[in-house]
Amino acid sequence: MKVIAHDPGLPAGASPPSGVSMVGLDDLVSQSDFITLHLPLVPETKGLFGKDRLLKMKKSAYLINAARGGVVDEAGLYEVLKGGHLAGAALDVFEKEPCGPSPLFELDNVIASPHVGASTSEAQQKVAIELAEVFVDFLKNGKVRNPVNRL
């Protein structure tokens, strides 16, 4: 599989992960068979994948939004999917949370699920144990495991 990515936040001179080619957003949209979104919802990303950008995707392509609702314009996505200009979409986030009824749910080429992968009792138990282990490791050894900022 050829993996391409777009990350405007990647610092100049930084190397992408091994096996990943960095491209501009327009190139990513026009070349990809599958696009997965993993970005925050900020003013610059709101509606980033609207109807115009979705129409630039291959008709055989799939869009997966596991980022934030609002990054994809749902009305535009519905039009593009309904019109056959995109093969399908998978969504676990929506413009309005919690999600109510949506015309997207009527389409056979849409998979929708709630954004609650870590909300099972098993996942919560594992998180609690890992958090306790992180605190113990810090208090005993001064080590912080998996810091968000590595300054």
> Using one digit for the tens of pLDDT, what is the confidence trace for 89-115?
999 999 998 888 999 999 999 999 877
Question: Active-site residue 68, yes or no?
Answer: yes
What is d(CA 68, CA 51) in angstroms, rounded to the nearest whole number? 17
Question: Active-site residue 44, yes or no?
Answer: no
The residue annotated as part of the active site, out of 85, 106, 115, 122, is: 115
For residues 51 and 76, the answer to whether their CB atoms sit within 8 Å is yes
The residue annotated as part of the active site, out of 38, 44, 53, 68, is: 68
Residue 151 has pLDDT above 60, yes or no: no
| Portion of the chain with pLDDT greater than 70, in percent | 95
The residue annotated as part of the active site, out of 38, 97, 130, 145, is: 97
Average pLDDT over the chain reads: 91
> Which residues, listed in sequence order, are joined to residue 139 by a DSSP beta bridge?
none
**pLDDT at site 118:** 64
CB-based burial label for 35 (10 Å; 0-12, 13-18, 19+): buried
Phi, psi torsion values for 52, nearest 5 degrees: -60, -45
CA distances from 137 to 29, 118, 125 (A): 44, 23, 18
Q: What is the pTM of this model?
A: 0.77
What is d(CA 125, CA 29) in angstroms, rounded to the nearest whole number? 39
